[in-house]
Amino acid sequence: MSKVEFKPGNMLYPLPVIMVTVSDRSGKSNIITLAWAGTINSDPPMISISVRKERFSYPMLIESGEFCVNLTNADTVFGMDLCGVKSGRDTDKWKATGFTPKPCKIIKAPMIDECPVCIECVVKKHEDLGTHTIFYGEVVAVHADEKYMDENGRFHFEDSDPVAYSHGKYYTLGKELGKFGYSVQKKNK
């Protein structure tokens, strides 16, 4: 297989595309769409998000030290895109998208009721990396839409039609190809 060489850059695709909700001390909240996010620790559970300093939500993150990660799906993709291209300086994103702010259990920022999973986080540390600041958030509460729960209490996020981002486009996840460990699983004879 031949390869084409590119200049160094971020080619890690696909990425989860999320909406992050934040609020300031007065209670004004905003929604920011991000694709630079990920799981960074199991115990305690932690998530990272990377945000440019010039984004409207940045001072809210610094001031409040908390955020809510709202996972997206096909039903929320239009509003999710709008929240990524419009600034909270000029647009009330709650009104523009029709999303419903719902109080979180622990943090002051609201969650987006229409999202299948909402993850409350408290910032433990942040670091300036250059163009972005990375925020390390400890997960303090998780909320999952009960319509994706089965009779055994297992959550089926895949049934929500989750969204990924790759090279400027949004995709829903395709068919299942295997499960963790299937390559070494013993075959039944």
Place of tokens 């955020």: 67
Q: What is the pLDDT of residue 183?
A: 84
189 band by pLDDT with thresholds 50, 70 and 90: low
Calculate what percentage of the chain has a pLDDT beyond 90.
81
CB atoms within 10 A of CB 18: 25
- pLDDT of residue 83 exceeding 80: yes
Under 8 Å between Cβ of 21 and 67: yes
Mean pLDDT throughout 74-82? 96
pLDDT band at 11 (very low <50, low <70, confident <90, very high): confident
CB 134 within 8 A of CB 91: no
pLDDT at 88 over 90: yes
Q: Which class in CATH covers the domain with range 15-172? A: mainly beta
pLDDT of 138 > 80? The answer is: yes
187 against 36, higher pLDDT: 36
Structural tokens at position 116: 């299948």
